Amino acid sequence: MEWESITEQIDGEFGTGVTKGLLGGRVPVALADAETRTLYIIPVEWVEKVVNQDEAISAFFELRLMGIELGQMAKSRFFLSLQVLPFLQSLTENILVVSSRGAEAFTYGKSILKESVVGMPRWLKRGQRVLIVNEDRECIGIAALALDAERVNRLAPDKLVAKNLADIGWYIRRLG
C-alpha cells in the first residue's frame, strides 16, 4: 500500500510513468528507524543479498544505506531525496530554469523570485512540484509553485514564484 501511494504522488507531481522510469530495472527497498522509512532503489540482483544477509556479517554490520536513495516517508508523506533529482530531470517536463544569481540564492535556501526565472512550461499549476535547474541545466533542487505559470509574466520582479522545498546547499548548511 505504501508503494502505491508513493507511486501516485511521484506520478501525480511529475507525470504518469515517471516512477517506473526512476526504477528502470531496479526495485524499491525500505529501511526504517523510529520516525521514518527511507526508500532506496537497488538493482534486482541485490535483493537476495539484502533479504538473506549472512548472519555472521549482520552480527557486526547494520544496513543503513544502499543503492540510490529515492526518499523518505514521514508522517504519511513522501519526500524525494536530492540524490534522485538528476534521474528525475530526464523523466519530467516540470522544470523551472533560473538565472545564475537565482540559482545561487536558491542553494542558500531562498525561494525563487520572478526576476530569477529564465523559463518554465506555461501549463504548470500552483502547488505543483518543479525541479529547479540552472542555466547549465544542472538540477539544484525542488520547489513548489506559488502560482500558475501562466501568471508569472504579470508579477513584479521581487514577487515569489516558487517556494524552496529542498536544494543542494542543504548538505552544507546542515553539516557545515
Spatial CB neighbours of 128, under 8 Å, sequence gap ≥ 6 = 13, 94, 144, 145
Task: Report long-range pairs for 146-154 (Cβ below 8 Å, ≥24 apart).
Answer: 146/111, 148/124, 149/120, 149/121, 149/122, 149/123, 149/124, 149/125, 150/122, 150/123, 152/114, 152/117, 152/120
Spatial CB neighbours of 118, under 8 Å, sequence gap ≥ 6 = 97, 98, 99, 102, 135
pTM: 0.86
Over the stretch 125-145, which tens digit does the pLDDT of each residue have? 999 999 999 999 999 999 999
Over the stretch 58-99, which tens digit does the pLDDT of each residue have? 666 666 677 899 999 887 788 999 999 999 999 999 999 999
| Dihedral angle of Cα 36, 103, 173, 13, to the nearest 10 degrees | -10
Q: How many CB atoms lie within 10 A of CB 119?
A: 12
Topology of domain 93-175, CATH: 2.30.130
Answer whether residue 105 shows pLDDT above 60: yes
H/E stretch holding 96 reads strand 95-98
User: Residues of CATH 2.30.130.10 domain(s) within the chain?
Assistant: 93-175
